[in-house]
């Protein structure tokens, strides 16, 4: 046995001893009714809560936090809950993505500044998962993510309807004249039936799946419905487990390895996951110091079949996914096919493969065998060419196969306001073969890179029965959306990227199999256009100005440049 004394925990610097500072810290905490032995060296666990009335997806987090607290106490720890910025894509304008990096700073500094030995992150609505993980990764304490789970399945007139996915479908049906406004309004209350995130495989459920795939959430974290008692039970087990991780000093960097990120990329392909996962994983990797590039997404995910038949790519919803066996089934099938690093670590203990032996599929329609995929090559396609020198992305499982190789005439919108003003014009010079191009909606241009890339089609074409067109932008799209949509074009238009130079009538070639996105305009003409381009002005003041000056491009994760890297858990100076 080792004779060396046990390593002191961070919290002991605040609570252990007889100094004036120790007196102050303990005394104030005792005002909450804590007894003396609360400060006897037991692990202090922070419960990082993104609850808010303004974030309906996370509305049940007060209850989840209490279950985590019970688990921490059962394991002999001290649980201290604290609030951080809550990002709800449902209400925030101009976009919650503008504040992802700000929320990550809130999380990082809240963890570092307080006497915490480990942390449980409660995350749901899609930006709260990357924001909390980015912040925690920059501190690198023992960490577990507890996702909030998806809401109950939507039903309208006897048919399943999915969050987001059917909003786009129904709104275009209204524009096409095949659905009345009254029917549209009736569907509204049938979609969001409970607390929880979108029940489609949107960004929130994608990120919950990737949390489980990377081993930073417990098994079944991804798919248990938000209001299912098993979600509360998982939260309580997470509270117990984080105490053990602190005692073993298993830090976030021990879990978030290169192999964990590779697993996440392949799982994203298998589940038909959101394109937003690309930006979020790149940003998280940048915080923890794991090399990860856009090309990794294409190389690792290209040959992974999509086997989860969920909207927006397929037919089913998250409840169905859970009842079919959930993410452990997907992980096991990938592992058996040699597409998963089974020896990647897990916060549940041991390695990922240890927790998959009992996984069983109860519905092969929802989670298909690899030999019968929804899409043979899922993943995220990374496109390059003179229109996207630093890359653009497309989700093949949500696209129309016939449009994956297409050349068409550009119809250009200089901004989202320009698009909204002109798309409904019956005189708009557009047909089904055209390529819709939207500029100035990237990280700097919107700012915040809003989910406007899945532009609604011109109503006059919808009335003709057109259901999809090639669309290209420097924006993002909701993970619940669908269509042949090229996103995240980098560099963005507002940074002087080639997208800024596209004009009406230019021919654009898309070839997904060749991973090519080409503007068919000669170099000399592009140079003339570049010389005439002028950058947009900076915002006047405040956080938005800071954001625009420091945000990186989409291919780097759209983090702020000064936030890259892990700064550790040290507090620079004593408080008094």
Residue 572, pLDDT above cutoff 80: no
- Model confidence at 560, pLDDT cuts 50, 70, 90, reads very high
CB-CB contact of 421 with 65 (8 Å): no
The region of weakest confidence among 161-175, 240-254, 339-353 is: 161-175
- Model confidence at 516, pLDDT cuts 50, 70, 90, reads very high
Residue 4, pLDDT above cutoff 60: no
Residue 28, pLDDT above cutoff 90: yes
Q: CB 256: neighbour CB atoms within 10 A?
A: 27
Look at 377 and 477; give whichever has higher pLDDT: 477
pLDDT in tens, 172-190: 889 889 999 999 898 888 8
| Per-residue model confidence (pLDDT) at position 482 | 86
Residue 1, pLDDT above cutoff 60: no
Q: CB 466: neighbour CB atoms within 10 A?
A: 17
| Per-residue model confidence (pLDDT) at position 180 | 93
| Per-residue model confidence (pLDDT) at position 191 | 87
| Per-residue model confidence (pLDDT) at position 540 | 80
Instruction: Tell me what the mean pLDDT of segment 283-303 comes to.
Output: 96
What is the rounded average pLDDT for all residues in the chain?
95
Residue 164, pLDDT above cutoff 90: no
- pTM for the full model? 0.95
The region of weakest confidence among 8-17, 165-174, 205-214 is: 165-174
Give Cα 79 to chain centroid, integer Å: 27
Give Cα 340 to chain centroid, integer Å: 21
Instruction: Tell me what the mean pLDDT of segment 132-153 comes to.
Output: 97
| Per-residue model confidence (pLDDT) at position 259 | 98
Instruction: Tell me what the mean pLDDT of segment 408-435 comes to.
Output: 97
- Model confidence at 576, pLDDT cuts 50, 70, 90, reads low
**Beta strand residue intervals within 11-105, DSSP E:** 44-49, 78-83
Instruction: Tell me what the mean pLDDT of segment 518-542 comes to.
Output: 94
3-state per-residue secondary structure call for 229-279: HHHHHHHHHHHHHHHHHHHHCCCHHHHCCHHHHHHHHHHHHHHCCCCHHHH
- Extract long-range pairs of 346-354: CB within 8 Å, 24+ residues apart: 346/215, 346/255, 347/143, 347/144, 347/215, 347/216, 347/217, 347/218, 347/241, 347/245, 347/250, 347/255, 348/215, 348/218, 348/219, 348/241, 349/241, 349/244, 352/215, 352/263
Q: Which domains, ranges and CATH numbers included, belong to the chain?
A: 38-152+195-355 (3.40.50.2300), 155-191 (no CATH), 381-540+546-550 (3.50.30.80)
434 backbone φψ class: left, alpha, beta (φ>0; ψ -120 to 50): beta
Residue 325, pLDDT above cutoff 70: yes
In the chain, % of residues over pLDDT 70? 98
| Per-residue model confidence (pLDDT) at position 281 | 98
3-state per-residue secondary structure call for 128-171: HHHHHHHHHHCCCCCEEEEECCECCCEEECCEEECCCHHHHHHH
Instruction: Tell me what the mean pLDDT of segment 136-146 comes to.
Output: 98
Coil, strand or helix at 21: helix
Q: Which helix (H) or strand (E) holds 411?
A: strand 405-413
CA distances from 278 to 63, 168, 284, 506, 568 (A): 31, 22, 10, 29, 25
Instruction: Tell me what the mean pLDDT of segment 250-269 comes to.
Output: 98
pLDDT in tens, 31-54: 999 999 999 999 999 999 999 999
| Per-residue model confidence (pLDDT) at position 168 | 78
């Amino acid at each position: 046995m080792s004779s060396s004394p046990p390593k002191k925990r961070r919290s002991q610097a605040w609570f252990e001893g007889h100094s004036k500072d120790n007196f102050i810290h303990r005394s104030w905490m005792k005002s909450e009714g804590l007894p003396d032995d609360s400060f006897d060296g037991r692990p202090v666990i922070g419960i990082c809560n993104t609850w808010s009335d303004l974030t309906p997806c996370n509305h049940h987090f007060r209850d989840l936090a209490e279950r985590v607290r019970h688990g921490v106490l059962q394991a002999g720890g001290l649980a201290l809950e604290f609030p951080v910025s809550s990002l709800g894509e449902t209400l925030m304008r101009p976009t919650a993505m503008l504040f992802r990096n700000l929320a990550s700073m809130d999380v990082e500094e809240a963890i570092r500044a307080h006497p915490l030995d480990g942390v449980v992150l409660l995350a749901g609505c899609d930006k709260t998962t990357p924001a909390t993980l980015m912040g925690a990764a920059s501190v690198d304490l023992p960490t577990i993510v507890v996702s909030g789970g998806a809401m109950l399945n939507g039903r309208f007139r006897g048919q399943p309807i999915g969050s987001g996915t059917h909003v786009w479908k129904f709104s275009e049906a209204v524009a096409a004249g095949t659905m009345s406004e009254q029917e549209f309004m009736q569907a509204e209350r049938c979609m969001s039936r409970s607390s929880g995130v979108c029940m489609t495989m949107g960004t929130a459920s994608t990120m919950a799946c990737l949390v489980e795939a990377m081993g930073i959430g417990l098994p079944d974290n991804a798919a248990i419905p938000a209001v299912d008692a098993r979600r509360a039970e998982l939260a309580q087990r997470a509270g117990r487990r984080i105490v053990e991780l602190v005692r073993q000093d298993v830090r976030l960097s021990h879990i978030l390895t290169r192999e964990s990120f590779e697993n996440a990329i392949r799982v994203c392909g298998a589940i038909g996951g959101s394109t937003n996962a690309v930006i979020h994983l790149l940003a998280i990797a940048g915080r923890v110091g794991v090399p990860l590039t856009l090309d990794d997404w294409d190389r690792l995910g290209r040959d992974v079949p999509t086997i989860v038949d969920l909207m927006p790519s397929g037919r089913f919803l998250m409840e169905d996914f859970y009842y079919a066996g959930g993410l452990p089934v997907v992980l096991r099938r990938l592992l058996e096919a040699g597409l998963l690093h089974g020896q990647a670590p897990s916060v549940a203990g041991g390695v990922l493969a240890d927790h998959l032996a009992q996984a069983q599929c109860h519905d092969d329609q929802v989670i298909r065998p690899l030999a019968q995929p929804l899409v043979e090559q899922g993943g995220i396609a990374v496109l390059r060419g003179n229109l996207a020198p630093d890359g653009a992305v497309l989700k093949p499982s949500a696209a129309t196969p016939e449009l994956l190789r297409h050349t068409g005439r550009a119809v250009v919108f200089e901004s989202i306001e320009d698009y909204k003003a002109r798309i409904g014009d019956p005189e708009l010079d557009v047909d089904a073969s055209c390529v819709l191009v939207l500029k100035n909606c990237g990280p700097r241009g919107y700012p915040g890179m809003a989910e406007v890339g899945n532009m609604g089609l011109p109503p006059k074409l919808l009335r003709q029965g057109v259901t999809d067109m090639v669309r290209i932008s420097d924006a993002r799209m909701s993970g619940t959306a669908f269509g042949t949509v090229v996103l995240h074009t980098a560099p963005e238009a507002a940074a002087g990227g080639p997208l800024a130079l596209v004009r009406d009538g230019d021919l654009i070639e898309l070839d997904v199999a060749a991973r090519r996105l080409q503007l068919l305009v000669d170099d000399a003409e592009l140079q003339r256009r570049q010389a005439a381009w002028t950058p947009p002005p900076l915002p006047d003041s405040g956080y938005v100005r800071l954001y625009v000056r420091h945000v990186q491009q989409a291919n780097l994760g759209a983090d702020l440049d000064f936030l890259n890297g892990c700064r550790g858990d040290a507090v620079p100076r004593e408080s008094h």
